[in-house]
Amino acid sequence: MIVWIYTLSSILIISLISLVGIFTLGIKTEKLKKILIYFVSFSAGALLGDAFIHLLPETIKAGFSLIASLSVILGIIVFFILEKIIHWQHCHIPISKNHVHTFAYMNIVGDSVHNFLDGIIIAASYLISIPAGIATTTAVIFHEIPQEIGEFGLLLYGGFSKKKALLVNFFSSLTAFLGAILTLWLTQLADLKSILVPVAIGGFIYIAASDLIPEMHKETEISKSVIQILAFLLGIMIMLVLLFLG
């Protein structure tokens, strides 16, 4: 029961983050970009830190089997396919309030699946231990902040009104509850941690290495790059601190 409470509470917090876009309406785009790039850097460090400091050690406690290795690869493949689906759709009809671009709808679908997977990952982490679940939730939160702001901006660009974009973003985030509940229910029938946790590791590695770190490379100014590196290291250090606190 304590695992259920922690899991659903964590996902509720993460779902509310989908409304963060409303706080960015009064911020100029250029200023917002400058802020977000440091969140991205911190998020990359937090995701890698959680994968290698919290989740991986739990996976190899009983020995790193072939199934675990394949599950890590499966996690990478799942997130790769998800991204490919999101980028398949492209439309040349001018954007207007009467024409929402196809990519906006595809983005909603992709985001819903992504949130569903987040729910699975968070639930699987809490099944390991409460500290591992808290660490994973923290990593997901800092990943979700820049992502949700980006999703909100993309929906506005795709033709959604501000109100509709916020509501759609929020409802798509609720699929995380489905992922978590399904995971907790299925693990009562069979022990799936040995598969789900490595899949989470693969997913986190993929997001950090293929999405976030390339974004960090776009900044070439030395002073800002140094801050990026420090934010990246801070994300890793936070995961290390959470390990000792646990």
pLDDT tens profile 79-132: 888 777 766 544 433 444 444 455 566 667 767 877 888 898 899 889 888 988
**What pLDDT does residue 101 have?**
52
Q: Which of 110, 126, 145 has the alpha carbon at shortest distance from 200?
A: 126
User: Which residues, 6 or more positions from 191, have their beta carbon under 8 angstroms from its beta carbon?
Assistant: none
Mark the ranges of the chain whose per-residue pLDDT is less than 70.
24-30, 33, 62, 86-107, 110, 150, 153-154, 157-158, 189-190, 246
**What pLDDT does residue 139 have?**
87
User: Which residues, 6 or more positions from 17, have their beta carbon under 8 angstroms from its beta carbon?
Assistant: 141, 144, 145, 148, 173
**What pLDDT does residue 102 have?**
57
Contact 209, 50 (CB under 8 A): no
Q: What is the CA radius of gyration of the chain?
A: 18
**What pLDDT does residue 95 have?**
41
Contact 189, 9 (CB under 8 A): no
User: How many whole angstroms separate alpha carbon 154 and alpha carbon 151?
Assistant: 5
**What pLDDT does residue 103 have?**
56
Beta bridge partners of 99: 96
**What pLDDT does residue 76 have?**
92
The token pair at 61 is: 């406690």
The residue ranges of every structural domain in the chain are 2-17+29-245
Residue with tokens 């009983």: 62
**What pLDDT does residue 90 have?**
42
User: Rounded to two decimals, what is the model's pTM?
Assistant: 0.73
